Amino acid sequence: MNKNIPAVEGGIPVLKEFLAIGQPDISEAEKREVLDTLSGIWLSKGPKVQLFQEQFARYVNASGALALNSCTAALHLSLIASGIGPGDEVIVPSLTFVATANVVTYVGATPVLVDVDPNTLLISVPEIQRALTPRTRAIIPVHLYGRPCPMQPIMEIARQKKLTIIEDAAHAIGTEENSQKIGSYGDFTCFSFYATKNICTGDGGMVTCNENNQKKLAHMEILSLHGMSTDAWKRFSPAGSHVWGLVEVGYKYNMTDLQASLGIHQLNRLEGFLDCRQRLVDHYRNLLRQEKRIQLLPKDPTNGRHSHHLFPILLDTDQLRINRDKFIAALKGENVGCGNHYPALHMQPYYKKTFSLKENDFPVSTKAHNSLITLPLHTKMNLADAELVVTALSKLLNFYSR
């Protein structure tokens, strides 16, 4: 059987076993901490959540941090605490996960989509400026794939227009711009600890704030606990008081000590994770530097740090006999886990219909929507795995070339 024939066409796959696009990296330290929690008397929000919050705030140089059950919850509470609601507009990049815009609709505000920069695929500063109206109240820059957005000009727009900046850093723990960690720029910064993120707690999130928003962060903590004035640990621990009041209607958004048990040790291992991801990305880039049928995003910013949550490539479908979706299916046939991060928001049926959006309204996002492929990248991989991925990629590029 010809090894140059794609597996989906009847050939032999390059990889003998499936290589996942992302995978959690859990050590014995995390397992011991979880068992310690299970052996204790407290599983929900308690002392380990508090410890994780303190450690996280120190790591990103933030004034405060609140652990939650998802990054989506963090974004939602940030909007509420900022007083954003019906009649307000919030600027969001079209190329992002749906949660970035969905949370704006949660509070009754309008997500205003803008196109992204053609080189980085991050929110375009000129497009932000064009989208500003008297109703604009906030901007949500997304540090997509772990690359930092140009925060200085975005912060300058915010200062001039008195806007709130809520950073979507779901991909960006450890990311830096101008030697400043993401998590200490905007009014609020929201992180994800989903199973495949750079650090994971199974699921979960964190919101950090600058020094001007600590009172709002305290308000967000109340909102995350149904609107109750104290959490369960403060009510039922030996030194706690059973007295509490419902001060407003809130949500059930808190993190648990079981999740924080993972987070405490994952955070301690983060720098090693980031070094591993950097080595894999450098190897990918070296192996793919001569390939003309794909486009790589620019190298890491010289004045910052990319945390490399994902490794995206742009497929030049004009040079191929199949489209991007069929190419992804063929890559999976070679046992290469891959995906499309992300389908553009203006191409999603809900946003397309609700806001009467068209493909040519956001040409850069549309191109990415049709050509993006994210390749495997995680700390369970080694350089040989990256080489096999590139072998499979080259095999398909050669077979399907026009």
- 156 and 185 in contact (C-beta within 8 Å)? no
Is the backbone peptide bond immediately before 194 cis, with ω within 30 degrees of 0? Answer: no
Distance CA 184, CA 211 (A): 9
Q: Give me the count of residues in the chain.
A: 402
Task: Judge whether 216 counts as a catalytic residue.
Answer: no
- Tokens encoding 187: 């009014």
The residue annotated as part of the active site, out of 48, 181, 197, 367, is 197
Distance CA 307, CA 172 (A): 6
Strand order in the sheet with 180-181: 180-181, 176-177, 304-305
Closest among 165, 73, 120, 61 to 306, alpha carbons compared: 120
- 311 and 294 in contact (C-beta within 8 Å)? no
Distance CA 255, CA 58 (A): 19
In order, the DSSP letters of 262-277 are HHHHHHHTHHHHHHHH
Buried/exposed code over 94-114 (b: 16+ C-beta within 10 A; e: otherwise) = bbbbebbbbbbeebebbbbbb
Q: Which residues are the active-site residues?
A: 197
